[in-house]
Amino acid sequence: MKRAWVVSTAATVLIATGCGERADICLTACGVPIPTTVKVFATATDDTMQAYLLTTQPLHAGLNRVYYRFSKIDNDETVTHAAVTQAPQMTMTTGAHGCPRTDPAPAADADALFEAKLVFTMGGAGGTWSNRVQMTPEGGAAHTFDFAALEVAASAEVGTLSSGGTDYVVTLAMSEASPHVGKNPLVVTLHAAQPDGTYVAITDAQLKLVPVMTSMGHGSPGNVNPTFVADAEYSGVVNLSMSGGWDVGLEVRRAGVLLGTAHYVFRV
């Protein structure tokens, strides 16, 4: 399913005021080009530094690959080596909780972007997502940036399982923009919730795809069960062999013991 692209108004105004050129390739005074494949989703500042949260698509429930750029307010000099940590939080009337995350490596890429991951467990309709990011440049003092009231869309990519007193967050997303008839590469993430509210990546699971065409009750041949790649990610291929609605079951096992089956609905 394709998602509409939304850029926060504050970020748009900041970019337009600073450079007056194309917002998708320019930040502040046009001295720091960014790839056209990412866009500014939100910004935050402290006394001396500006932080940018960039994405390739709008934030949504499920796996999000995000990027951070940090630059000095007075001269736009970018930070390329730093320790960066994320603290995403969903605040609701009944309480607050976090979500799985992967913090960036200490070195930025060639475009001065620090790549990270956020696995939002729900959309923002039930509360408000925020993300406190701390950045400590090499040899410098720590800076804290609060990305408040993030817009996170609901999606069908998130599943949950409970087994042996442990809750698991399981996401499944097609690698391409929208599913199609035929073989679709996909990415699965698997995390276990901890008593302190954090999440641990599960790297030793055995996963099995069980796609069923809902209107006809049959499966499909040629599926490739997801296998572990890195971090909490597994990659596989599901064959949606006919047009229509599909229920893609994902059996999750550890040490051969079935933890449960998460279900994901697609239409092609």
Which pLDDT value is given to residue 1? Answer: 40
- Under 8 Å between Cβ of 71 and 77: yes
Tell me which architecture the domain covering 158-267 has in CATH.
Sandwich (2.60)
Neighbours of 139 (CB within 10 A): 7
Condensed to tens digits (0 to 9), the pLDDT of residues 139-155 reads: 999 999 999 999 999 99
Gap between the Cα atoms of 235 and 223, Å rounded: 12
Q: What is the largest CA-CA distance in the chain?
A: 63
Is the model more confident about 176 or about 27? 176
* Rg, the chain, Cα only: 20
Which pLDDT value is given to residue 32? Answer: 60
| Fold topology of 9-150 | Immunoglobulin-like (2.60.40)
Gap between the Cα atoms of 129 and 88, Å rounded: 7
Which pLDDT value is given to residue 33? Answer: 77
Domains 9-150 and 158-267 share a fold: yes
Which pLDDT value is given to residue 100? Answer: 98
Q: What mean pLDDT, rounded, does the chain reach? A: 89
Closest by alpha carbon to 155, among 28, 38, 62?
Answer: 62
- Under 8 Å between Cβ of 249 and 211: yes
Domain boundaries, the chain: 9-150, 158-267
Instruction: Look at residue 9 and tell me whether its pLDDT is greater than 50.
Output: no
Which pLDDT value is given to residue 19? Answer: 35
Gap between the Cα atoms of 129 and 109, Å rounded: 27
- What element of type H or E holds 12? helix 9-19
Gap between the Cα atoms of 65 and 59, Å rounded: 9
- Under 8 Å between Cβ of 137 and 53: no
Instruction: Look at residue 82 and tell me whether its pLDDT is greater than 70.
Output: yes
